[in-house]
Amino acid sequence: MVSISAGWAGFAAPDLDAAQAFYTGLGITVERDEAMGMLTLKLTGDVSVYVKPDHVPASFTVLNLLVTDLEAAVDDAVAAGASFERYEGFDQDERGIARGPVGPAIAWTRDPAGNVVAFIEESSAS
C-alpha cells in the first residue's frame, strides 16, 4: 500500500488578485507565488489556488472553512463583500445559514471565481 504523508486541496481561479483580496478579506493569511502563478491559503492544511484563465467553477463546494461562530463569520464575510447562496431543500435563515436536524450549521458563499466556499460551525460539526 502507498504511504501518504500529506495531502492538500487546490482549485482554480481566473484572477489571482481578486482571489487574494477575497480570501484576505475573510481573514485568511495568503501567500503569493508569482513564479508559479499560485496562492497558498495558510490554514491548518494549506490550500492552493492557481491561475487558470479559462476556469469554469465547480457545481459543488471546493473549500470548507470551520468556524467557531457561524453568524459572526457570515457577518464578517458580508462586510468584506461576500453574499451567501440559497439552495433548494435547505431551511436557511435570512443570512443564508442552514441549521437542520442533521449535520452542522452551514452557509455557502462564492469566491470571485465562482467557487463555492462553505462556512461550517465547529460546535455543530461533531
93 in any annotated domain: yes
Average pLDDT, the chain: 89
Residue 103: Cβ within 10 Å count: 12
Residue position matching grid coordinates 494549506: 46
Residue 76 lies in a domain: yes
> Does 1 fall in a domain?
no
Q: What is the CATH number of the domain that holds 93?
A: 3.10.180.10
Domain assignment present for 2: no
- Give the per-residue pLDDT at 124: 59
Query: Phi and psi (nearest 5°) for 91?
Result: -85, 100
pLDDT at residue 10, rounded to an integer = 83
Q: Answer whether residue 49 is part of any domain.
A: yes
Residues forming a β-bridge with 12? 50
4: in domain? no
Residue numbers in the chain where pLDDT is lower than 70: 1-7, 124-126
3-class DSSP state of 13: strand
- Domain total of the chain: 1
DSSP-assigned states of every residue in 16-83: HHHHHHHHHHTT--EEEETTTTEEEE-SSS-EEEEE-TT----SSEEEEEEES-HHHHHHHHHHTT--
Domain that holds residue 117: 9-125
- Asked whether residue 73 is domain-assigned, the answer is yes
- Is the sign of the CA dihedral 71, 120, 14, 114 positive or negative? negative
Looking at residue 89, what is its pLDDT?
Answer: 87
Residue 61 lies in a domain: yes
